[in-house]
Structure 1
Amino acid sequence: MSTETKVCTECGRELFGRSDKKFCSDACRSAFNNKALAGGDKYMRTVNRRLKKNHSILVQLNPDGKTTTHREKLLKAGFDFDYCTNTYTTKDQKEYRFCYDQGYLHLGNDFILLVKREPSPAG
């Protein structure tokens, strides 16, 4: 039998009770897990914030569901072309990029077609 004293993984206080115990309290367990998850959550919040901003810019510039705009107008509004939720490639290999239901297609000469995807009948 080991005489080594076990301590709380979070605060370092001595542990009593079960031999496989890692934390002295629910508060220490929760604090430890919150710290462990904080890095990934911060990244996801940053990505989600950029997607939401892109979506709102597309909604603002495309109130009628289909229009053409200039790339510079999107950039001035703060649009980030590196973030989208999905892509759709047509039969003739045109690639639409979407932020949820709002999409765009590069037309050339820095012009961009903005579109709104209509929900499918099933959902």
Structure 2
Amino acid sequence: MNRNCSYCNEKLEGRVGKKFCSSYCRSAFYYQRTKEKEDTLFKKIDVQLKKNRKILKNYNRAGMAKIRKEKLIREGFDPKYFTHYWKNKKGQVYLFCYEFGFIELQEKDHKKYLLVVWQEYMK
């Protein structure tokens, strides 16, 4: 009876129920299978967090910046997705996507975000 690896199709040796020739092939097979499945909630959240981080990083090259909220939203930023928060001594809450943070401000007739980068003192 010829048995072949379910991933690379190499000939299998060993026990009867064996499906893969190596742990690499087993891992690669299940990774590929999971990747082909429809998007899971976890994956959607992860994608949005990474998108938020990329947008914040792009607009905050100097370490602190102000930008109109609507501009970030147009680019796909979603403020409901963040990794953690930090509250300063004034009680203001900064939301963070990994190391890039933001807080909403009201200036005249426009809502803006103050963008910051995580600092050691924020622990």
TM-score by length of 2: 0.63
Which structure has the bigger radius of gyration?
A: 1
1:66-115 deviation digits (Å, cap 9, x = unpaired): 01110011111110111000111112110100000000011124011000
Give 1:83's match in structure 2, choosing from 81, 86, 94: 81
Alignment RMSD (CA, Å): 3.0
Give 2:52's match in structure 1, choosing from 45, 51, 54: 54
Q: Distance in 1 between matches of 2:62 and 2:19?
A: 52
Instruction: Tell me which moved more, 106-115 or 56-65.
Output: 106-115
Q: Distance in 2 between matches of 1:42 and 1:80?
A: 18
Q: Distance in 2 between matches of 1:80 and 1:90?
A: 23
TM-score by length of 1: 0.63
Aligned residues: 93
Q: Distance in 2 between matches of 1:55 and 1:61?
A: 10
Partner of residue 103, structure 1: 101
How do 1:68-79 and structure 2 match up within 5 A? 68-79=66-77
Gap regions ≥5 residues in structure 1: 1-23
1:49 counterpart SS class: helix
- Following TM superposition, the consecutive aligned residue runs of length 4 or more in structure 1 with deviations greater than 6 angstroms are none
Q: Distance in 2 between matches of 1:81 and 1:60?
A: 16
Taking only the aligned residue pairs, the percentage that are identical comes to 31
Q: Distance in 1 between matches of 2:84 and 2:19?
A: 40
Q: Distance in 2 between matches of 1:63 and 1:48?
A: 23
Gap regions ≥5 residues in structure 2: 1-16, 21-25
